[in-house]
Amino acid sequence: MNVARAPLGDRPASPEPHFARISADPLADAFSGRMGAHARGGAVPVPPAELPALWDRLTATPRKSVSVAYVHIPFCENHCLFCGFYQNPWRRESGAPYVDAVLAQLAQGAETAIQQGHPLRAVYLGGGTPTALAIPDLVRLVEGLRRHLPLAPDCEITLEGRIVSFGLEKARAAFDAGVNRISLGVQSFDERVRRRLGRKSTRAETIRFLDGLMALDRGAVVIDLIYGLPGQDRATFRADVQQAATLGLDGLDLYSLKAIPGTPLLIAQDKGKLTPAAPGELGHFYADGTEEMDRAGWETISTTHWRRGTRERSVYNHEVKAGAHCLAFGAGAGGNLHGHGYRLTPDLDAYRAAGGQGGAALVAGLMRPAPLAPVHNAIKGGMERGRLEIAPVDAALAACGIAAGFDRIAAPLLEQWQQAGLMNAREGGHALTLAGRFWQVAMTARLMAWTDARAVDFTTKETSQ
Ligand code: SF4
């Protein structure tokens, strides 16, 4: 859809900051910024003096609900242009001692209440580049996870990585060790775009490797594509999605390029060396990708993720966003225990030194949950899937001691978003439109902030009448 429009900066701001612009082209204009859902939402850092006692209490309290684990491999072969997660350069000699340290952390916590008991539905080995590890280190890491964690029989075990450091021999070894899902950041198949991104493997090598992985038929294979990259236009992105849809993959993520401060991309952009897509165009890239996935008959299971067939479940991604317990392993890994977000020390030496002893010495930061954290989780879980069910949010409000229903608290905002073309009321909930799915992250952040500001106030008025 090509709609003539004024630059965003020339438009009058909405009178209510959470409201969307009413526009003929909501994919482009609904909000002026996409991000913000990663704000703390009322979570409060625990003062260092209080951290050890609270940590001991949390880890001595058994988990009784949905749980997953995250394992961080904080090394990368290079700093990808768009990435804000780069931590340490990969060196071959770093792999074995690092895996030793993670195994020491796993062994040290093996008998604790938090690590034992309730089964884990998913384990995600992310980074960084876990596939950079040598085969023996990768194998003993996965075997250690299976030995020291109470994995459910159907536990999803994901290995994230890059094609350049992988190979079918390593893939076979990973599957043999217990990995059952591989997630690869392809970003684009287009040679020109890949060169600008500094990707080392060619389009042909990438496709050949994916074909080989699929031929193994040992587990789910999912890839990421990014839209809005320098040198990419809507036609090249559409061709990327068409290419991905024909490869026999199990899952596909379509992500928007984000302007993250400090990334090589933003630095190059500030110097005028690289030009990514204009922010107002990104929604149309998303619409093109969605159209191609629909045409190819893929099923959408979140606003950014599609699957073909039944092998792909995306358990970790879904559960972690809905507030599951998440046990964290590795330097810089982030987790969640009983609603408390935490991060382990990213310093490799400090991690190695503390790993074998476990305890609070490993923890770099701990956050107390927001007062309405269960409500946030219910909102995030629904919005992520593209359909906000009211019943789970009402249940979470009630659990937080708020009797007012969510539809009453959020009605003005949800009605305005319907007028703006972002969602439609459905029996028992609200379904996001195509534009709503594109703006889901921005909407989720605003909906949580709106609920925080009004829920308590609403209840006060109700009870004082
Ligand atoms: S995209 Fe992955 S491999 Fe590239 S810098 Fe970021 S974490 Fe490292």
Q: Which helix (H) or strand (E) holds 363?
A: strand 363-368
Return d(Cα 104, Cα 95) in angstroms, integer. Answer: 14
Least confident among 40-44, 115-119, 457-461: 457-461
Residue 436 beta carbon below 6 angstroms from any ligand 1 atom: no
Mutate-to-test residue for ligand 1 from 75, 76, 188, 197, highest number of ligand atoms within 8 A of CB:
76
Task: Taking the CA atoms of 95, 177, 301 and 185 in sequence, report the sign of the dihedral they define.
Answer: positive
- The reply to whether ligand 1 has any atom less than 6 angstroms from the CB of 129 is yes
pLDDT-based confidence at residue 37 (cuts at 50, 70, 90): very low
Contacts of 256 (CB under 8 A, 6+ apart): 34, 226, 227, 228, 282, 285, 286
pTM of the predicted protein model: 0.92
Q: Is the pLDDT of residue 11 over 50?
A: no
Domain boundaries of the chain, sorted by first residue:
3-42+372-464, 51-320
Q: Is the distance from the beta carbon of residue 85 to the nearest atom of ligand 1 less than 6 Å?
A: yes
Residue 456 has pLDDT above 80, yes or no: no
Q: What is the DSSP letter of 448?
A: H
- Of 237 and 196, more confident: 237
- Is there an atom of ligand 1 within 6 Å of 264 CB? no
- Span of 82-91, 327-336, 386-395 with lowest mean pLDDT: 82-91
Given this model, what pLDDT does residue 33 score?
A: 64
Task: Please name the amino acid found at residue 60.
Answer: A
Beta-strand pair 325-329/88-89: unpaired
Residue carrying structure tokens 């619409």: 287
- In this structure, which residue's CA is closest to atom 7 in ligand 1? 128
Pocket test for ligand 1, best of 82, 129, 257 (most atoms within 8 A of CB): 129
Residue 168 CA to ligand 1 center (angstroms) comes to: 21
pLDDT at 459 (0 to 100): 58
Q: Is 186 in the pocket of ligand 1 (CB under 6 A)?
A: no
Cα–Cα distance for residue pair 85/218, rounded to 1 Å: 29
Cα–Cα dist 421/283, whole Å: 13
If you measure from the C-alpha of residue 80 to the centroid of ligand 1, how many angstroms do you get, rounded to a whole number? 5
Whether pLDDT at 186 is above 50: yes
The CB-based long-range contact list for 132-135 (8 Å cut-off, 24+ gap) reads 132/73, 132/75, 132/76, 132/77, 132/90, 132/95, 132/161, 132/162, 132/165, 133/73, 133/95, 133/99, 134/92, 134/95, 134/96, 135/169, 135/170, 135/173
DSSP string, 364-410: EEEEEPPTTHHHHHHHHHHHHHTEEEHHHHHHHHHHTT--S-HHHHH
- Residue 9's pLDDT is 33
Mean pLDDT of 440-453: 94
Closest ligand 1 atom number to CA of residue 128: 7
Q: How many CB atoms lie within 10 A of CB 84?
A: 14
Cα–Cα distance, 28 to 269 (Å, whole number): 21
- Tell me the pLDDT of the chain averaged across its residues: 90
CA distance 408 to 424: 16
Q: What is the pLDDT of residues 401-441, one digit of tens each?
A: 898 899 999 999 999 999 999 999 999 999 999 999 999 99
The rounded distance, in Å, linking the Cα atoms of 172 and 167 is 9
Q: According to the model, what pLDDT value does residue 83 have? A: 84
Q: How confident is the model at residue 354 (pLDDT cuts 50, 70, 90)?
A: confident
pLDDT in tens, 78-116: 888 888 888 899 999 999 999 999 999 999 999 899 999
**How is residue 104 written in tokens?**
């020491």
Asked whether 83 lines ligand 1 (CB < 6 A), one says yes
CB 286 within 8 A of CB 241: no
Pick the CATH number of 51-320 from 3.60.21.10, 3.40.50.2300, 3.40.30.10, 3.20.20.70: 3.20.20.70
Whether 80 is in the pocket of ligand 1, judged by its Cβ within 6 Å, is: yes
